[in-house]
Structure 1
Amino acid sequence: MNISVVIPLLNEEESLTELHDWIARVMQSNRFSYEIIFIDDGSTDGSWKIISELSLKDHNVKGIRFLRNFGKSQALHAGFEKAQGDVVITMDADLQDNPDEIPELYKMITSDGFDLVSGWKKKRYDAVIKKNLPSKLFNWAARKTSGVKLHDFNCGLKSYRKAVVKHIDVNGEMHRYIPVLAKNAGFSNIGEKVVKHQARKYGETKFGIDRFIHGFLDLITIWFLSRFGKRPMHLFGALGVIMLFIGFGFALYLGVDKLFIHTKGRLITQRPEFYIALITMVIGTQFFVAGFLGELILRNRTDKRRYLIKNELNFS
């Protein structure tokens, strides 16, 4: 199979039929063998009914329905797990991503040798204050922190070599950082393509300004995981050594001062240096304990399903 199109969605009943027909037209005109995997992330409208109807008319349509809303990352994870195409393409279900970009995205993977190609919505039709400015700030911070030189990390329109989606673990809200996850997994040939962005045709966006706050917090998380995820003691142990060194330094100073310089001065417990030494040594010990706990958790971790599937369509 040439292409798997993975589409996570939440309450997008108005756009699904039009999106399916558009994708099918592009695939058939280019003679691609394909599958379209819709992942219904707990929709409360008629989205699943429409997906079911499409699957009856078109055997290339497959559906996954979550028991409730688990989030876009979990939806992508489920779609990646089922995808069979040599190239996997993700897009949003709101018709803001253009299916006419699919052939070029496919070519960049199969002919140009990229592991992952991320879309860049250079000209956007979102509200400037609500999405554009926070998005630019977010993308700048992501570039500086991760070292991945992309203009638009959060663009839903991306193409992947099959091996990439089968070897990365998209969880929490890490869908924004899939290029970073791919780089950390060893897939460093990451490209970018300017793609056409379209104004939303139906409904309203499901994301608010709070997603950018979550995005920055996730950015800190992924920086930590990429640097110290497999060796937490390297971070916490280093911080512990620094704090203990400071604490022992103050303790040594107080001891020398008391024994040899001001033998009849104030009690050690009346001096602020005593409390600095005490607090830093306690904090240093806590850092060491955190490092040990991190190592223990890492070595005893078991994988656990992060979402529950209610229904599936057309998966053999």
Structure 2
Amino acid sequence: MNISVVIPLLNEEESLPELYDWIASVMQSNQFLYEIIFIDDGSTDNSWKIIEELSGKHTSVKGIRFQKNYGKSQALDAGFELAQGRVVITMDADLQDSPDEIPALYQLITEENFDLVSGWKKKRYDSVIAKNLPSKLFNWAARKTSGLKLHDFNCGLKAYKNAVVKSVKVSGEMHRYIPVLAKNEGFTNIGEKVVQHQARKYGETKFGMNRFVNGFLDLITISFLSKFGKRPMHIFGLWGTLMFVFGFLSAAYIGAMKLYKLSAGLKTILITDNPWFYIALTCMVLGTQLFLAGFIGELLIKSRNKEKHYAIKEKLNF
């Protein structure tokens, strides 16, 4: 199979028939063998009913229905697990991503040997406050922290080698930073292509201003995981050890000075009246806790399993 198109969606009943027709037209005109995987992320409208109808008519259409709304990252992860195509294309279901871009993206992966190609919506039709401004800030920060020179990390239209989607684990709200996750797994040949962006034709955006806060929190998380995710002891153990040693030496100094003054007959105060005693004690306690956090993190990494953070209610054509 040439291409798997993975499409997460939430309440997009109006756009699904038109989106399918558009994708099918592009695929057939280019003689691609393909599958279209719709992942219904807990829709409350007729989206699943439409997917059922499409899958009944076309064996190329496959459906995954979540038990409830888990989020775009979980939807992509489920689609990635089941995708069979040599090249995997992701796109949004709101018709803002153009299926006409698929042949060029496919060519970049198969002929120019990119591991991942991210779309760049150079000209956008979104709200400046709700999407454009947060996206510019996210992308700037992501470039600085990851070293990837991409203009639009969060573009839904991307192309991947199958090996990439089978290697990355997308959870939480990390779908914004899949190129960074891919780089962390050793896929470094990551490119970018300017893609056409269209105004939303039906309904309203599902993303509010909370994406502004969540995006930066996710960026902090992924930056930390990129450096210390595989060896948490390297940061927690280091700082824990330094703090404990500092506290221990401070306490030892306080005790030694107390003994010296007593032996010399000098006036002394209670150790508990010395503020440095509490500073030393706090440093030793915090240092121990940090060291234990690193140790527990190492144990969790070694014992973690492939637990899924979503529940699938139904599947179609798998």
For normalisation by structure 1, the TM-score amounts to 0.96
Counterpart position of 1:49: 49
User: Unaligned stretches of 5+ in structure 1?
Assistant: none
Residue 204 of structure 2 aligns with which residue?
204
Deviation of the 1:65 alpha carbon: 0.8
The 10-residue stretch of structure 1 (174-183 or 251-260) with the greater mean CA deviation from structure 2: 251-260
Aligned to 2:139: 139
1:2 alignment partner in structure 2: 2
Report deviation, 1:68.
1.0
Pairing partner for 2:290 from 287, 291, 296 = 287
What does the per-residue CA deviation read over 1:228-264, in whole Å, with 9 as the maximum and x for residues that have no partner? Answer: 2221111111011121132133224323443446941
Out of 292, 295, 299, the residue aligned to residue 296 of structure 1 is: 299
Corresponding letter in the other structure for 2:282: I
Equivalences for residues 60-209 of structure 1 within 5 A: 60-209=60-209
In structure 1, C-alpha distance between the alignment counterparts of 2:202 and 2:103, rounded to whole Å: 25
Corresponding residue SS for 1:187? coil
Aligned to 1:277: 280
2: CA distance between counterparts of 1:247 and 1:39?
54
Root mean square deviation, CA, Å: 1.4
Counterpart in 2 of 1:246? 246
CA deviation vs aligned residue, 1:87-124 (integer Å, no higher than 9, x gap): 00000000110111111100110111100000011111
Amino acid at match of 2:287: G
Q: What is the identity, as a one-letter code, of the residue corresponding to 2:295?
A: F
Tell me, in whole angstroms, the C-alpha distance in 2 between the residues paired with 1:214 and 1:233: 26
Q: Where do 5+ consecutive residues of structure 2 fail to align?
A: none
Displacement of 1:66 after TM fit? 0.9
Pair 1:225-2:225 in alignment? yes
Of 266, 269, 272 in structure 2, the residue corresponding to residue 266 of structure 1 is: 269
The alpha carbon displacement at 1:189 in A equals 0.3
Q: Deviations over 1:30-82 (max 9, x none)?
A: 11111111111110100011111111222211111111111111111111111
Partner letter of residue 300 of structure 1? S
Q: What is residue 310 of structure 1 aligned with on the other side?
A: 313
Matched position secondary structure for 1:12: coil
**Residues 255-308 of structure 1: CA distance to partner in whole angstroms, max 9, x if unpaired?**
344344694133221121111111011100111111121122222222222211
Structure-2 separation of matches of 1:293 and 1:137: 34
Distance 1:146 1:12 in 2: 33
**What secondary structure sits across from 1:118 in the alignment?**
strand
Counterpart in the other structure of 2:237: 237
Runs of 4 or more above 6 Å deviation: none
The within-5 A match list for 1:24-35 is: 24-35=24-35
Range 21-30 or range 292-301, more displaced: 292-301
Counterparts of 1:55 and 1:218, CA distance in 2? 35
TM-score normalized with structure 2 length: 0.95
The residue type paired with residue 240 of structure 2 is: G
| Whole-Å separation in 2 of the counterparts to 1:106 and 1:212 | 32
Deviation at 1:220, TM superposition (A): 1.8
Deviations 1:120-143 (A, max 9, x none): 111111111111111111111111
**What is the identity percentage for the equivalent residue pairs of Structure 1 and Structure 2?**
73
Shift in Å at residue 206 of structure 1? Answer: 0.5
* AA partner of residue 103 (structure 1): P
Is 190-199 or 211-220 further displaced after alignment? 211-220
